[in-house]
Amino acid sequence: MPIGNRTAYGVLAALVIAYPLVPGAADRTTGALSHWGTVCAVASLAVFVFGVVRNRPASRTPWVGLGAFLVLWMLGDLAYDLAGTHPVLSPADGFYVAGAVAGIAALLAMNQRRLVDAPRDALIESGMVALIAAIAAWLFIVEYAIDAGGPALGALGRSVVVFYPLVNVVALFLVARLLFSGGRNIAALLLGAAFICGLAADGAYAYFQQMGSFSDANVVAADTLWLAMYALIAAATLHPSMVSLTEPTRGSSTRTSWQLATAGIALLAIPTLFAAAGLLGHTLHTIEFFLASATVIPLVLWRLLHLHRWVTATHDQLERREHYFRQLAQQSSDSYFVLDEQGIIRDMSPGATRMLGVHDDVHGQQLTAVVGDDGEHLATALAGIRTLAGMSTTVEAPLPGSDGSIRWIEARATNMLDDATVRGIVVNVHDISLRKHALAEVERQSLHDPLTGLPNRALLRDRMERVLVRRRQHGNDVVVVFCGLDNFMDVNESLGHDRGDDVLRTVADRLVHAVASSDTIARLGGDEFAALIEVDDVNDQQAIELAESIRQAATSPIRLGGLSVAVTASVGVAIASADDANTVDDLLRIADSALAAAKARGRDQVVRYQPSMRQSDVVHMELADELRSAVARNELALHYQPIFDLSTGAIVGLEALARWNHPTRGLLPPRRFIPIAEQSGSIIDVGTWVLRRTCEAAATFDDNLLISVNLAPRQLRDPDIVATIRGLLDATGLEPSRLALELTESALIGNFDEAVTRLRAISRLGVKIAIDDFGVGFASIDYLRRFPTDILKIDASYVSSITEAGDVSALVRGLLGLGRTLDLITIAEGIETSPQLAALQREGCAYGQGFILERAVSEHQIRELLGTPPSPTV
């Protein structure tokens, strides 16, 4: 409540209380109400107006009506004062009657607005209040005034005597309706108090009129009560709750305790009022008592009947709800137990024991004992909350089922010992087996390879972690064996993925049987497996033997249906102690290096890790391994560098240069993989692909272009090389004379005669032979004579020796002269600067290639450069 309200209430109360108490305040010698009284009335009116303005009720009309009541009655007071004489009916009554009409209309309007949806039964309480007020008015005002006035009072006098108390009774009835419908409302209470004061004032006035003395205490009492009525109406208007008096209530009915209290007070009021009237010396009539009782008692009975019906209905409703919840509990998959403080079962839901797998009646037993061996978790949890009211705890426990399966329950215990309706520890039990099994399955799947069911890399790491911890504690040793199937891609491609999967499953199974059950076999992915073996003590030889047994298990032929599939395996071995590998990562890395080494060394073998297998070797080995499938995975590409006629500037040929679109390392230049391919043997596959692709593309290029392809030394040692080239020329229809094969001098090392024979055969096909990087090797002029050489490619290092001033060394001149002597086409490689280009032109070098002319570019770009439409095969 705002401070302003308290002050206003204080001022109003002080003014009213001071009126009878402060000497002279009630001095009426100058008028009916005295100056003090006028101040009091005007202050009430001011507070009333302030209240309406400040609280802003949505509907103002009823408040305007109430304000009119106040103003008219205050005017009535003024007229009464001014008149001097006081007949039964004076002009002042005109104001009072008009005010009464305005006041009643205002209260009716409030009723109409507030009680839109309110329950009708509040009429009973309002009726009782009005009846008691009416009985009091009759006994203390009307009957007394009529008796005292006697026949002289006349009909008009009697009407006046009846009218004012009646207005108060009706007003009280209307205020009671506001009060008993809807929630507690201070403004309505204050209004009720105001009209009780009004009624009392009527009584006091009746007395003083009969006594006929203005100086009588009755006069002061009547005035004080009237002023109190004004002040209380003002106070009601000032209170914020006045707003809801003109707004519809939410229809909440009056509390039962109020209804009973009102009925009791109404019953008691009859004898009390009659006794009081008797004490005051009023003549009492039996009929009055009878009529009073006959009107009030039925209302009280009606209320009691009403309450009885309500109690019965509420009881029924509660029973139905209890039944409803009991059904829910019975049908629910959850169960509950209610335990006493000692954990003894006092109550439980019907399916509760079934959930625990118990069939006997367990009432009166310890729940923890019923749960069995696993009850100790629950016992600890219950002990934890036993003394803590309102606390909850949740435990999960496994329960062995009768069929040997394990069921999981989740028990949530809540201490409700303090709750008057429960007075126990409530344990809600929920079967979480499904959730548990699902979680276990998810966990299993996340740690196992779905194809073979073997642990995956994550689980292997976890086990390695544990094994290494044990090694630190007990000093035993750990061997890690990585095993990769060598030709699994071929199996997949030739037999299909289903058969491929069968092979992997079979190998997995064999590996598991090749090691002790305490060891771990895991699938690392693709065709790679790992074995984690714990041994007391191991030397290199023993570890290799272990690995060898694993390799043999993987490699013995696999029967699939009617087929026998042979796979070979490369195996790498690492030993924690010997290789000084103390972490999981160390061990994994070195075992991987050893496996890569096994693959690089030609596969199908066991390789023990050596510290010399450093990272670069590892990369080398990885590349070697990946290169094997690069052709199949279509990762290779060709770039073309144009060869120019240095005198005309026209493009006369293209050199095809291989590139590898590595899936993780990006576009690799040939120096990164051609030597590896040569070492590992995959150069045959790579070289054949390059040849085929070049021939296909060349067939679609300009007829006059010479297409150069680099041929690795090892390709020349391939007995099938001539047949391959012939086949490709036939297949693509490429004119053989448009193809040139570039060989470095190193191609001629080794079996020289064989090389010469092959080159002659190739030359006979019509294909041109070029000596690449001429001048850096050991090729002698004698070689050039014996070889069917057509083209001499002068190595870039000679070209780079040409100075900025264009000085050409004697060596370069000699090489160019040699070409001319032997009638060979000379191509200068690696021309990077204009002086180099100019010098070569001056020296009569026929052709050249180099960055200053054009770099090696993609097939698409070279077509753009040549103006050739894209090949349909591209």
Using rule CB under 6 A, residue 657 touches ligand C2E: yes
Stretch in the footprint of Mg ion (CB under 5 A) among 217-225, 303-311, 592-600, 738-746 = 738-746
Using rule CB under 6 A, residue 690 touches ligand C2E: yes
Stretch in the footprint of ligand C2E (CB under 6 A) among 39-47, 472-480, 524-532, 827-835 = 827-835
- Under DSSP, the state recorded for 627 is H
CA distance 309 to 617: 96
Q: Are 789 and 744 in contact (CB under 8 A)?
A: no
Number of residues engaging ligand C2E in binding (CB under 6 A): 24
CA distance 582 to 565: 39
User: What tokens appear for 581 in the block?
Assistant: 């590998």
Residue 525 pairs in a beta bridge with 528
CA-wise closest residue to 424 among 480, 348, 498, 496: 348
Using rule CB under 6 A, residue 2 touches ligand C2E: no
* Minimum CB–partner distance for residue 646 and ligand C2E (Å): 14
User: What tokens appear for 505 in the block?
Assistant: 């499953």
Using rule CB under 6 A, residue 149 touches ligand C2E: no
For ligand C2E, give the closer residue by CB, 427 or 802.
802
What is the DSSP pairing of strand 424-431 with strand 406-416? antiparallel
Using rule CB under 6 A, residue 832 touches ligand C2E: yes
Using rule CB under 5 A, residue 710 touches Mg ion: yes
Residue 827 pairs in a beta bridge with 793, 847
By CB under 6 A, the residues from 789 to 808 that bind ligand C2E are 796
Stretch in the footprint of Mg ion (CB under 5 A) among 134-142, 308-316, 667-675, 736-744 = 736-744
Cα end-to-end distance, the chain, whole Å: 89
For ligand C2E, give the closer residue by CB, 639 or 738.
639
Where does 293-354 show beta strands of DSSP type E? 335-339, 345-348
Using rule CB under 6 A, residue 773 touches ligand C2E: yes
Which partner in Mg ion, ligand C2E, none is near 832 (CB below 5 to 8 A by kind)?
A: ligand C2E
Look up tokens 């005669």; give the residue: 753
Stretch in the footprint of ligand C2E (CB under 6 A) among 129-137, 511-519, 669-677, 808-816 = 669-677
Which partner in ligand C2E, Mg ion, none is near 455 (CB below 5 to 8 A by kind)?
A: none
For ligand C2E, give the closer residue by CB, 598 or 827.
827
CA distance 473 to 164: 106
List 642, 775, 819, 830, residue binding ligand C2E (CB under 6 A) = 830
Q: Are 17 and 26 in contact (CB under 8 A)?
A: no
Which partner in Mg ion, ligand C2E, none is near 851 (CB below 5 to 8 A by kind)?
A: ligand C2E
CA distance 238 to 6: 10
Q: Are 76 and 41 in contact (CB under 8 A)?
A: no
Using rule CB under 5 A, residue 772 touches Mg ion: yes
Q: Are 377 and 429 in contact (CB under 8 A)?
A: no
List 195, 775, 850, 862, residue binding ligand C2E (CB under 6 A) = 850
CA-wise closest residue to 66 among 47, 38, 91: 47
Using rule CB under 6 A, residue 222 touches ligand C2E: no
For ligand C2E, give the closer residue by CB, 699 or 716.
716
Binding mask 617-646 for ligand C2E (x = CB under 6 A): ------------------------x-----
Where does 48-201 show beta strands of DSSP type E? none
Which partner in ligand C2E, Mg ion, none is near 671 (CB below 5 to 8 A by kind)?
A: ligand C2E
Using rule CB under 6 A, residue 682 touches ligand C2E: no
CA distance 459 to 446: 9
Binding mask 806-835 for Mg ion (x = CB under 5 A): -----------------------x------
Query: Per 3-state DSSP, what percentage of the chain is helix, strand, and coil (rounded to 5)?
Result: 60, 15, 25
Using rule CB under 6 A, residue 851 touches ligand C2E: yes
In this structure, what are the phi and psi dihedrals at residue 493, rounded to the nearest 5 degrees?
-75, -40
What's at 47, amino acid-wise?
V
Binding site for ligand C2E (CB under 6 A): 641, 657-658, 669-671, 674, 687, 690, 710-712, 742, 772-773, 796, 829-832, 849-851, 856
